[in-house]
Amino acid sequence: MSSTDRYARTFDVLELLVGRPDGMTVSDISKRLGLPLSSSHNLLQRMVTADVVTVTDDLRYSLGPRAVRLGIRIVDGLEVRALSRRHLQELARETGDDIYLAVPFSRRVAYVDRFPGSRPVSVDIRLGQSLHLHATSVGKLFAAHDPSLRRKLFAQERPELTGHTLTGREELERELARIVEQDHAISREEAIAGVVGLAVPVRDGIGAVVAAIHVSALGSQMTGDEESRLLTAARASAVAIERDLGRMHDDAGHPPETRAIG
């Protein structure tokens, strides 16, 4: 079985198992897919190893935790995309900069929507393209909050994309700690020369980071006041999206667990 066929068959197996909470035997799966028993068994063993499917003691295969988590995150990402569009369109009009919506998919991060501003930054960033975790603002933001993405960041190669890219483990550890403390991330020309990216999180009703708003701005125009203005505007949009997702905030935009005192 070629690698292309194997990938396609993986999704065929998942589609079979979605409607079978009681699971299926390898013989059932083999017959439904029209595959030799040995090929089906080998494919299922690889999927079990990856936690995509699970197998019981009586050798029945069901959806695994990794497949379930991915499905939930995809649905959440699509919901966030639909609910965020009008808020991000308004943010692009208000700031004049390009605005992106990013979501995590399993162990990668990608943009799923884009709203051009009146002064668009000429950068070809394709929707759905995997983003560098160590160099982009949204990549660093998700890595700071998601242990699995943090592990991936430090396990993989970290190319120096510009003269400003952070590649060392210690400096990135400090950067991720800063992001958690400040609740935003900034890429200061670390991925693309001349472009500064700012990212703020979007959280669901239980406080989990399910998306991020990314503002793409020209580095030459990024003064301290401009940075504060963009972060304030992006945070206001995040609060509006979170309210649509069902997360409670007070009139000042604070969720209950982080409401200011005094």
CB 247 within 8 A of CB 255: yes
Q: Give tens-digit pLDDT for 212-222.
A: 999 998 888 88
Asked if residue 119 has pLDDT above 70, the reply is yes
Of 218, 219, 201, residue with least CA distance to 210:
201
Provide the pLDDT for residue 222: 87
Does residue 126 register a pLDDT over 50? Answer: yes
CB-based contacts of 14, cutoff 8 Å, min separation 6 = 52, 53, 63, 67
Where are the chain's structural domains?
3-63, 69-258
For residue 22, the SS3 value is coil
> Would the pLDDT of 262 be above 50?
no
pLDDT value, residue 230: 94
What average pLDDT does range 118-128 have in this prediction?
71
The CATH superfamily holding the domain 69-258 is GAF domain (3.30.450.40)
Give dist(CA 43, CA 46) in Å, integer: 5
Residue 244 has pLDDT above 50, yes or no: yes
The radius of gyration of the chain's CA atoms, rounded to the nearest angstrom, is: 21
Q: What is the mean pLDDT of residues 40-60?
A: 90
CB 94 within 8 A of CB 233: yes
Q: At residue 255, does pLDDT exceed 80? A: no
Cα 21 to its chain centre, rounded Å, is 28
User: What's the residue count for the chain?
Assistant: 262
Percent pLDDT > 70 in the chain is 85
Alpha-carbon distance of 53 to 62, in angstroms, equals: 6
The residue assigned the tokens 């009146």 is 118
**DSSP SS3 for 198:** strand
pLDDT digits (tens, 9 = 90+) for 169-181: 999 999 999 999 9
User: Residue 1, Cβ neighbours under 10 Å: how many?
Assistant: 13
Q: Is the pLDDT of residue 156 over 70?
A: yes
Whether the pLDDT of residue 211 is over 80: the answer is yes
Q: Any idea which residue has 């003691």 for tokens?
A: 57
pLDDT value, residue 257: 52
Q: Is the dihedral of CA 227, 90, 212, 259 positive or negative?
A: positive
Class of domain 3-63 (CATH, top level): mainly alpha
Cα distances (angstroms) measured from residue 109 to each of 73, 106, 146, 177, 261: 12, 8, 11, 19, 35
Calpha distance 195→218 (Å, rounded): 5
Span of 95-99, 142-146, 202-206 with lowest mean pLDDT: 202-206
